[in-house]
Structure 1
Amino acid sequence: MALMTSTSDDMSMKVQTLPGLREQVAERLRMAIATGKFPAGARLIERELCEMMGVSRTSLREALRELQADGLITLQPNKGLSVSVVSEETARSIYEVRAMLEGLAARLFARHSTAEQMRELRQSVDRLAEVYDNFSSEAFIAAKTHFYDVLLEGAGNPVAADMLRRIHTRVSQLRVVSLSSATRAQQSIRELREFLDALEQRDEERAWQVCVAHVEAAATAALKTIGAKNP
């Protein structure tokens, strides 16, 4: 399945010729995959991507190598690059690791975060609630990314932060699909507000429990999505 895009879509993929070009290209590609613009299994043709994004093949290839290392795209013999398809088994494994790492981040945030970081985290949840009320995949991803940026900064463990960001990249496309359901979106906000309450009370154990339960609920929704696509 090759990419099918319109002129307006092409414009949204354009990047600015500034320092850090590879990072810009990689981020645009991640967003396109996460929002479903480039769906699982879609072929990624270098010539089309270069034209779409207005970049050289050198810059594009550097970004593609980064995404391949993250597991977002796959090189298939005689077929080239395509967006990775996340199997049910792989998704389950990813969510298991995510639950443990986010649980650790929850404990550390409850222990180390400042009052300002706590306030900013609550604001980020309020922003997520606004996005859910008028769902947009790009706005959701931006809001969710900010939430985790605040959480991981307050936790103060850069190794866990790096590992979690890679995991979040892998599950982003599943997350958007599952949260487009109003029921799951509302449940997710309730879970996050309960999580905030535990953090504000500096209750490390409860924060860990609520956080892990939130990830497990997300895993259930994601696996249901995969099952529906692959009956």
Structure 2
Amino acid sequence: MSSKASSSLKIDRSVKTLRELTLEKMRDAILSAYFKPGERLVERSLCEELGVSRSIVREVLRHLETEGLVESIPHQGPVVASLDAEKASQIYEIRALLEGHAARLCAERADDALIERLAAINDEIQAAFGRSDFSGVLARTSDFYELMFEGSGQFMAWEIVQSLNARINRLRAMTIGSTGRAAEAAAEMQLLVSALRRRDAQAAHDASVAHIRRVGDIAAKKLAEMTLADAPSGDTSSHSIAHAK
């Protein structure tokens, strides 16, 4: 085991299965850019560091491949999937269509209690921003949109969004730390919540779409700034996944 690894890396099996916990740990490591785009994911090193079997590591890597976070390269094996500007643009287009429509219908259909729950979750998102707790921002933002789709009655649309959630959260993780983003996001989300409370369907739609277009612009800029200097060494042995968030 790497000298940086410690007993804290061992998986607590008391609540979830070992596979589920390993999947969460690896997903978080990729979302936090602990593992860089294009970086090789060496099974032996991951087994040693996580303290799990190779069969579990292989299952987890296959699952992450279905989420679009890992890709298999011939003669190289699994690597962290690269962030593709064109794919990112398409994801934001899909989000604008589905989330904008869901926001409109949520304003029209949701009861007052659900909208107040959305407002409360938004408060938690902004509090997490204030603590620089970006993992908390990601988690509560996902909760916000799940509830908004519930309020809209668009369950099939939410299934489509869920299928993209890992990639959406990867893009969110890249944009939420941008300079000034906390205040900007707070203003954007407040516009959406206010429109929902007023039952202004058009304003809710427009606020949702404007928010997505803004983060899409930030993501495009971030992706454009990436250079070959960011390429990983391809060796995971110096990592300590315990520090990934």
Length-normalised TM-score, structure 1: 0.88
**Partner residue of 1:191?**
188
**Partner residue of 1:54?**
51
By relative contact order (CA 8 Å, sep 6+), the higher-ranking structure is: 2
SS in 1 for 2:180: helix
Aligned residues: 227
The range that moved more, 195-204 or 54-63, is 54-63
Letter in 2 for 1:69: T
The answer to whether residue 159 in structure 2 is matched with residue 162 in structure 1 is yes
Length-normalised TM-score, structure 2: 0.83
SS in 2 for 1:71: coil
CA distance in 1, matches of 2:8, 2:148: 33
Structure 1: give runs of 5+ residues left out of the alignment. none
The answer to whether residue 130 in structure 2 is matched with residue 133 in structure 1 is yes
Instruction: Kindly report the root-mean-square deviation, in angstroms, between the aligned alpha carbons of the 2 structures.
Output: 2.3
Structure 2: give runs of 5+ residues left out of the alignment. 229-245
Moved over 6 A (4+): none
**Partner residue of 2:221?**
224
* Contact 1:198/1:206 (8 A) holds in 2: yes
The range that moved more, 41-50 or 210-219, is 41-50
Deviations 1:21-54 (A, max 9, x none): 4333322222211111222122111222223333
CA distance in 2, matches of 1:50, 1:224: 36
Whichever structure has more helix as a proportion of its residues is 1
Q: 2:97 aligns with which of 100, 103, 110?
A: 100
Q: 1:12 to 1:199 in 2, by over 3 A?
A: farther
C-alpha deviation, 1:13, in angstroms: 7.2
CA distance in 2, matches of 1:40, 1:22: 23
Q: 1:106 to 1:219 in 2, by over 3 A?
A: same
C-alpha deviation, 1:168, in angstroms: 3.0
Paired residues for 1:109-188 under 5 Å: 109-188=106-185
